[in-house]
Amino acid sequence: MDELFETHQPDAVIHLAAESHVDRSIHDPLAFVQTNVIGTAALLNAARKCWNGNYEGKRFYHVSTDEVYGSLGEEGFFYETTAYDTQSVFGQQSG
């Protein structure tokens, strides 16, 4: 990632959910951790290193799925402050 960022010097990153099929997460949850959590961290670190604290005009878009935020609902938008509403078996709380 560092080499890619260094070579191309992007002003923006669009990061799409790498693993999104919840049924597969039940059979292999570590694959989801590796791609969705570790992969996201790698992209964020590469962007941070490349941009070297100068974030003016820089954008990092992370697009996830309803498995993280839940259904879109009547409002039609999610925001940075939108609470997680996980829909997978691992994200649901009992009670």
- Between CA 88 and CA 36 the distance in angstroms is 14
Q: From residue 48, how far is each of 1, 20, 82 by CA, in Å?
A: 11, 25, 24
Strand partners, 15: 62
Looking at the whole model, is its pTM more than 0.85? no
pLDDT tens, position by position, 4-56: 999 999 999 999 866 666 677 778 888 888 887 888 899 999 999 999 999 99
The confidence score (pLDDT) of residue 44 equals 93
Which DSSP string corresponds to 19-58? ---HHHHHH-HHHHIIIIIIHHHHHHHHHHHHHTT--TT-
- Between CA 65 and CA 23 the distance in angstroms is 14
pLDDT tens, position by position, 54-88: 999 999 998 876 667 777 777 778 777 888 777 66
Residue ranges covered by each domain of the chain: 2-69
